[in-house]
Structure 1
Amino acid sequence: MAGEPTGRTAEVWLEVSGVHLEGVVWDDAAGLVRFVDIPRGKVFHADPATAEAGVVDLPAPVTAVHPTTDPATLLIADGDGMALVSGGAVTERLAAPLAGRPEIRMNDGNVDPAGRYLAGSMAYDVTPGAACLYRLNRDRSLDTVLTDVTIGNGLDWSPDGTLCYFVDTPTRRVDLFDYDVATGELSGRRVFADTSGVPGMPDGLTVDAGGGVWVAFWGGSRVVRYAPDGGLDQTVHLPVTQVTSCAFGGPDLDQLYITTSTETLSPEALRRQPAAGAIFRAEPGRRGLPANRFVI
């Protein structure tokens, strides 16, 4: 694209033959990169030093995974809502706003600075406005904080927690809210970045220690960093088109891990993109923030 900053290239880090990898997150207590393969219900963990991976199989779909304040327990989003996982199995259902609704599932989510969980949904047929953004509070109550969402996607907070970034993919925007960490309330929605000039559609995102917002572009073969003022700042290129999410990890939080997908790719496209469905890694010269943990 015209005016695009000089970028870097991500390299294949881990091959897991993923169908639709998503939700990558760094678990600093365990020293592991975690991510999911949504339609296969697989929750992966991998060592950044050795790239040795393990997997837990859960009822599909599983759309996101996050660490909790109990190192032995993970939080997932899935077809029904949110649940806790321990010992390779779902141990507690926390919320099920989508139970009995096979046409819709949860999608991306993230843990706020106070230990709540915010996660969006999406209809399988991408019905406009059919989805919501939910907030699972520390007392296990569930609030609907946004309606008229189509594909609730990337979500993260500024380093000081006072701003929340959110992607509803078909809008081709990253929106910005003022965030009240004490209450979990969102207000003052406005456009942070109009991504319509970037190839592809905005998907998952992560915020770095400098307040930059890194956005994965589905169909765009890239992850783009937006500076805190919303300006296009840096691009990481990938040799595959369907780029889904990104997160900083590793002991120094200086490695950018990127998930990819094979969904919607034709046989010919798959032949041209043999690394589709792998985890990529880049060293973009920035550091990330430690992942927040859901309080249990």
Structure 2
Amino acid sequence: MAEVWLEVGGVHLEGVTWDDVAGCVRFVDIPRGRVYAGADWVHLPAPITAVHLTTDPATLLVADGDGMALASGGSITARLAAPLANRPEIRMNDGNVDPAGRYLAGSMAYAFTTGAAELYRLDRDRSLHTVLTGVTCSNGIDWSPDGTLCYYVDTPTRKIDLFDYDVTTGAMTNRRTYADTSDLSGMPDGLTVDADGGVWVAFWGGGRVVRYWEGRPDLTIELPVTQVTSCAFGGPGLDELYISTSTEELSPAQLRDQPAAGAIFRAEPGHRGRPANRYVI
């Protein structure tokens, strides 16, 4: 069972990552445009849908309503890409940095429109490439420890997909199903891969994080809230699993029954993660 680690009264917390230089957990509260910076919030124009580290410890990479940008303090300091500019019906969603320092992040329509979203790749030279089309809700993405495999979630498919990944070029090929989660309650959301190659998946509406090994459930961490959004290993030994949650889509009765919804949880599952990759700037 995971326990509440940080009660922040979040609306929709997402994108947990461990900053090994600052020694703190970072995450976002999407509709409020808030980025948690270790002890306090940094406020940016909402929505801010993901936060990731860069090779400059003072600069963060964020995904937002328009695309991708660099941020420092409480300001956007550089717009890197804006594929969704002037498209108020859609926003960016989850993302991650690949082993070579590129950034992959996808989008979703506010109306959850089938096939309206895409997955993008932002290269180190700041060129933007569309990797996948026909996506509905682009969510968790991470790589195997050797970087040759990429795990990816388009939430309503209820599958974790697997690609062969070329770290040299960023090409994703040979898409196939790694795990079909349709026998579990909830839908797959954010994910992280541990140091051994186990795939940890947060389940939106499912109240749990599940570790998959060779495509099969291996370990389950239950939470006392249903809307579980992302997870990442952190702490000095990278052996603590931090889990973000949300209050969105909960009825007043559910909110009363789930007073810890919108908090960050922590578990010690007996596995270790890896240092977060940093976008090269």
| TM-score, L = length of structure 1 | 0.94
Which among 208, 228, 232 is matched to residue 243 of structure 1?
Answer: 228
2:23 is matched with which residue? Answer: 31
**What is the aligned-residue identity percentage?**
78
Which among 217, 223, 226 is matched to residue 232 of structure 1?
Answer: 217
Instruction: Tell me the distance in 2 between the aligned counterparts of 1:242 and 1:221.
Output: 6
Instruction: Tell me the distance in 1 between the aligned counterparts of 2:178 and 2:10.
Output: 31
1:231 deviates by 1.2
Instruction: Tell me the distance in 1 between the aligned counterparts of 2:251 and 2:169.
Output: 46
Map 1:1-296 → 2, pairs under 5 A: 9-46=1-38, 53-227=39-213, 229-296=214-281
Consecutive aligned runs of 4 or more in structure 1 exceeding 2 Å deviation: none
Instruction: Tell me the distance in 1 between the aligned counterparts of 2:49 and 2:117.
Output: 15
Residue 38 of structure 1 aligns to which amino acid in structure 2? I
Instruction: Tell me the distance in 2 between the aligned counterparts of 1:88 and 1:59.
Output: 9
Instruction: Tell me the distance in 2 between the aligned counterparts of 1:275 and 1:164.
Output: 32
Instruction: Tell me the distance in 1 between the aligned counterparts of 2:239 and 2:7.
Output: 21
- Please give the per-residue CA displacement for 1:252-283, whole angstroms capped at 9, x wherever unaligned: 00000000000010100000000000000000
Instruction: Tell me the distance in 2 between the aligned counterparts of 1:133 and 1:54.
Output: 31
Q: Secondary structure at the match of 2:256?
A: helix
Residue 8 of structure 2 aligns to which amino acid in structure 1? V
1:209 deviates by 0.3
Q: Secondary structure at the match of 1:170?
A: helix
Residue 28 of structure 1 aligns to which amino acid in structure 2? D
Gaps of at least 5 residues in structure 1 are: 1-8, 47-52
Instruction: Tell me the distance in 2 between the aligned counterparts of 1:17 and 1:217.
Output: 20
Instruction: Tell me the distance in 2 between the aligned counterparts of 1:87 and 1:55.
Output: 10
1:4 is matched with which residue? Answer: none
Gaps of at least 5 residues in structure 2 are: none
1:45 deviates by 2.3
Q: Secondary structure at the match of 1:270?
A: helix
Instruction: Tell me the distance in 2 between the aligned counterparts of 1:27 and 1:198.
Output: 32
- Please give the per-residue CA displacement for 1:38-60, whole angstroms capped at 9, x wherever unaligned: 000000023xxxxxx21100000
Residue 293 of structure 1 aligns to which amino acid in structure 2? R
Residue 189 of structure 1 aligns to which amino acid in structure 2? R
Instruction: Tell me the distance in 2 between the aligned counterparts of 1:217 and 1:294.
Output: 27
Aligned length: 281
Instruction: Tell me the distance in 2 between the aligned counterparts of 1:198 and 1:281.
Output: 22
Instruction: Tell me the distance in 1 between the aligned counterparts of 2:256 and 2:37.
Output: 27
Q: Secondary structure at the match of 1:115?
A: coil
Instruction: Tell me the distance in 2 between the aligned counterparts of 1:83 and 1:268.
Output: 38
Residue 282 of structure 1 aligns to which amino acid in structure 2? A
Residue 9 of structure 2 aligns to which amino acid in structure 1? S
Q: Secondary structure at the match of 1:155?
A: strand
1:172 deviates by 0.2
1:199 deviates by 1.1
- Please give the per-residue CA displacement for 1:142-169, whole angstroms capped at 9, x wherever unaligned: 0000000000000000000000000000
Over aligned residue pairs, what C-alpha RMSD do you find?
0.5
Instruction: Tell me the distance in 2 between the aligned counterparts of 1:234 and 1:87.
Output: 38
1:87 deviates by 2.4
1:36 deviates by 0.0
1:198 deviates by 1.1
Instruction: Tell me the distance in 2 between the aligned counterparts of 1:25 and 1:264.
Output: 24
Bigger mean CA offset, 83-92 vs 143-152: 83-92
Instruction: Tell me the distance in 1 between the aligned counterparts of 2:40 and 2:101.
Output: 26
Instruction: Tell me the distance in 2 between the aligned counterparts of 1:75 and 1:111.
Output: 10
